[in-house]
Amino acid sequence: MSSNCTKKVVYIDSKHLRKECDRIPQVNGRATLVHELIVACGLLNHLTPVPSRLATEEEISSFHSRLYIDFLQQVNESDDLEAHEDEQEEFGLGYDTPLLSRMYDHVRVIGGGSVVAAEALTSSGAEVAINWCGGWHHAQRDGAEGFCYVNDIAMAILKMCKKFQRILYVDMDLHHGDGVQNAFASTSRVMTLSLHHHGPGIYPCSGDVTDVGISNGRYYAVNVPLHEGVSDSTYCDVFQKVTEKVFDTYRPDALVVQCGADGLHGDPVGCAFNLTSETYTTCASLLLSRGLPTLFLGGGGYNLPNTARCWVALTAAIAGCKLPAEVPEHDFLGEYGPYFEFGVQPSLRKDYNTKEYIDSIVQQITENLKHVELKEKSQSSEKR
């Protein structure tokens, strides 16, 4: 497989990281599936593998509260998880995000992967870093939420803030990136941009276009609420229009991109969008064309073979490689049947995002960003 990529692309991996990610109930085995397909496609030859490590308590506490960390440490060695049922609800642990054995160890492993990726961009000369075991964007400061036990994204961004003055976070998951937006809602150091399914009763019930941040971060949260049936053409069109306006206004020094694949057609949890892998590779290419240090992370994606197809296609696009037409022979080939092509086919479902609706969203975002433009000009004048 040839490569025309001249960037140093770091790939975060370790057996421990994959094993820990694999035991998250909703994506059991996904990390191994993704990694083995990357290996089978020969992509490791075009990446710089970097081993993960455990996050330190200081790194975890850079975002998460002392109370949450104390609870995780308290139950870490517990043999009777049911004994903590009353306490766990206080920290968002329950039905959809159940308490796991060795909870604190889990948080250290998952958080550490994205911290190492951030370090690769800040101190190791990498231009792009990939951690498909990261991207848990719903976790809040005080607890778990929405399948997410630790907000590795917030931890990575805080690490990157030590070098980069302005960071743009882009969230492509089907669900609103509420945990990351909440983490940085009051600062202009980080702008959050989330494109997601939105409407009454749709989890996490946030992320309207009027949701723009607070205090010093007001208008530095950009939300693109989308209706059901989003097609590749609709998504890529609005993505290009909004990111162009964001870059023109904010001019970030670095990017963090969450690539949740639950917007793919056939996802059993998302069930709302009608995307293929081409949307993800097209949008990633648009971001990479900016030439900024960029961190790519995973996220949602509950049709595991399709998520693997998508993230491996993204890995190839980032590394400047071409994929074979079909999934190569390897130990997990059977997971990709009954068809073995790399492409994820869209359905014939209707796209409820009309041109008028998309135009109105882009117009509202444009108006919101005018406030950012004024703030940026004011700050620039003050520095002179």
| Distance separating alpha carbons of residues 58 and 182, to the nearest angstrom | 20
- Tokens at 164, concatenated: 């980069």
| Distance separating alpha carbons of residues 296 and 315, to the nearest angstrom | 9
Q: Is 275 left (phi over 0), alpha (psi -120 to 50) or beta?
A: beta
What's the CA angle centered on 318, arms 313 and 324, to 5 degrees?
A: 35
Burial tier of 325 (Cβ tally within 10 Å: 0-12, 13-18, 19+)? exposed
Q: Which helix (H) or strand (E) holds 265?
A: none
| Distance separating alpha carbons of residues 362 and 365, to the nearest angstrom | 5
Residues assigned a catalytic role: 138
Q: Supply the DSSP string of 209-235, one letter for each residue.
A: TT----GGGTT-EEEEEE-TT--HHHH
Dihedral, CA atoms, 274, 195, 257, 267, nearest 10 degrees?
A: -30
CB 151 within 8 A of CB 137: yes
Q: How far from each other are the two terminal CA atoms of the chain, in whole angstroms? A: 51
What's the CA angle centered on 203, arms 197 and 204, to 5 degrees?
A: 105
DSSP strand E in the chain: where?
Answer: 9-13, 48-51, 128-131, 167-171, 190-197, 221-226, 254-258, 294-297
* Strand arrangement of the beta sheet that strand 128-131 belongs to: 48-51, 9-13, 128-131, 294-297, 254-258, 167-171, 190-197, 221-226
Strands 128-131 and 294-297: parallel
